[in-house]
Structure 1
Amino acid sequence: MNIAIIGASGTIGRRITEEALRRGHEVTAVLRNPNRMDTEHERLKKAEADVMDPSSLEKAIQGHDAVISAFGPKFGQEEELLAAARTIVEGTRRGGVSRLLIAGGAGSLIADSGVPLMDTPEFPEEIRPLARAHADAYEIYKECDLEWTYVSPAAIIEPGRRTGQFRIGMDRLVTDESGSSRISAEDYAVAIIDELDDPQFVKSRFTVAY
């Protein structure tokens, strides 16, 4: 499959790119600055595009079978996430691609207490604006006419090992017996490419955790 990955140089995007290449896909890394990505592979191309410019995205996306967005704003610029969601939907549509997967946020998942994770007392205040921006962006994706899938990580996601073993949920936070919710960035990428290869959650959200 020929995939365009937006934000391919970030922590999550890089691992999604590596997983896609591992499985034999052709990948175009869509980046504001292609020089920021030093990964080289015979099936990897790099395309310059501005995530805030739908025409720019359209050109980079044309001819692909699917788009994966791993865009993440800088700290303090959370409002970019909402604008980017609109642009990504528009650019994908204009580029003639119907399949869109989004590496999203976990804050809007329902915690065991019955409220969104981002509204629980223990949720870190410093990342609450980012969580709310992700939740607002999710609403934009839900309303679009593309074959979208929104993938929420566990409450804690960080670089680690690729095991290929995890549990899947829908709109509720997945926790272990101790109440912890974790996933490695590598296994999160596995889950996203699994969905690309074998769609199970078209026009819906799912989440993964150990």
Structure 2
Amino acid sequence: MRLAIFGATGGIGRHVLAQAIAAGHEVAVLVRDPGKLTSVAADVRVVSGDITRREDVAAAISGCEAVISALGPTADAGQVGVFREWAHHLVACMQATGPPRLVLLSGAAVDVPGERKAVSDRIASMAVRLLAKHVVAAKQAEFDVVHGSLLDWIAARPPRVVDGPATGRIAAGLDLRLGPRSRISQPDLATFLLRQTTDDTWLRRAPFVTS
């Protein structure tokens, strides 16, 4: 499969990229600094650019069959606008000429219209929003744009993501009870994201994903 991966140099994205290459997929990535991908440059199509430029986003997804975004914002307040703009660019490009399938890395604190979170989950979301309000706000803005699109999207909402080894234990669901100890490793989350490029189980839904 021909995939476009955004956020390929980040903690989760690098695992998505490695697993995609290992699985034999043809991969395109958009990065500001191609030097960060010299070790895999021969295996991927590297587009140098920025997610806030629509023409760069369009170049990255050109000819691809699915898109995976593993982008994560910083704690800066300006990221809210950046992620809203990026999402608009991506949706516009995909709806115009790109692939219909978008797999989006979101977060457990992101709210989905119409859902009724358990009390414990609402409390946890409130705590995360207080501690990382700009990060959550940026991912919420991104999700809201994608949710309102016509794309075949899937948004994964993990709790705490840790830099640990793959365990093979992956649970996904809309009614999962997440607690203070809920977590998933970066490689396990990457595996889940990659699977969603061909799995319709969670089409146009946003499951919580944990181990």
Seen in structure 2, the aligned counterparts of structure 1 residues 94 and 152 have a Cα distance that, compared at 3 Å, is same
Q: Is 1:29 the counterpart of 2:33 in the alignment?
A: no
Q: Which amino acid aligns with 1:18?
A: A
**Partner of residue 152, structure 1:** 157
Q: Which amino acid aligns with 1:34?
A: P
**Partner of residue 101, structure 2:** 99
Paired positions, count? 204
**Partner of residue 161, structure 1:** 165
Provide the C-alpha distance between the structure 1 equivalents of 2:58 and 2:176, rounded to a whole number of angstroms. Answer: 34
Q: Is 1:70 the counterpart of 2:70 in the alignment?
A: yes
Q: Specify every segment of 5 or more residues in structure 1 that has no aligned partner in the other structure, as ranges.
A: none
**Partner of residue 175, structure 1:** 178
Deviations 1:50-83 (A, max 9, x none): 2111122112211011111122233313222222
Deviations 1:112-139 (A, max 9, x none): 43626322xx437331221122123211
Provide the C-alpha distance between the structure 1 equivalents of 2:110 and 2:79, rounded to a whole number of angstroms. Answer: 15
Displacement after TM superposition at 1:174 (Å): 4.0
Q: Which amino acid aligns with 1:11?
A: G
Displacement after TM superposition at 1:111 (Å): 4.8
Contact 2:29 2:60 in 1 (8 A): no
Contact 1:59 1:95 in 2 (8 A): no
Q: Which amino acid aligns with 1:141?
A: V
**Partner of residue 199, structure 1:** 200
Secondary structure (helix, strand or coil) at the match of 1:115 reads helix
Provide the C-alpha distance between the structure 2 equivalents of 1:38 and 1:158, rounded to a whole number of angstroms. Answer: 25
> So what's the TM-score if we normalise by structure 1?
0.87
Contact 1:108 1:131 in 2 (8 A): yes
Provide the C-alpha distance between the structure 1 equivalents of 2:123 and 2:137, rounded to a whole number of angstroms. Answer: 10
Q: Which amino acid aligns with 1:149?
A: I
Provide the C-alpha distance between the structure 2 equivalents of 1:56 and 1:101, rounded to a whole number of angstroms. Answer: 19
> So what's the TM-score if we normalise by structure 2?
0.86
Provide the C-alpha distance between the structure 2 equivalents of 1:133 and 1:126, rounded to a whole number of angstroms. Answer: 14
Contact 2:47 2:59 in 1 (8 A): no
**Partner of residue 134, structure 2:** 129
Deviations 1:156-200 (A, max 9, x none): 102111122121112x45436xx5210001100011111113232
Aligned counterpart in structure 2 of residue 89 of structure 1, from 88, 91, 104: 91
Identical columns (%): 26
Structure number having the greater helix percentage: 2
Q: Specify every segment of 5 or more residues in structure 2 that has no aligned partner in the other structure, as ranges.
A: 112-116
Q: Which amino acid aligns with 2:173?
A: G
Aligned counterpart in structure 1 of residue 144 of structure 2, from 139, 145, 148: 139
Q: Which amino acid aligns with 2:100?
A: S
Provide the C-alpha distance between the structure 2 equivalents of 1:26 and 1:54, rounded to a whole number of angstroms. Answer: 22
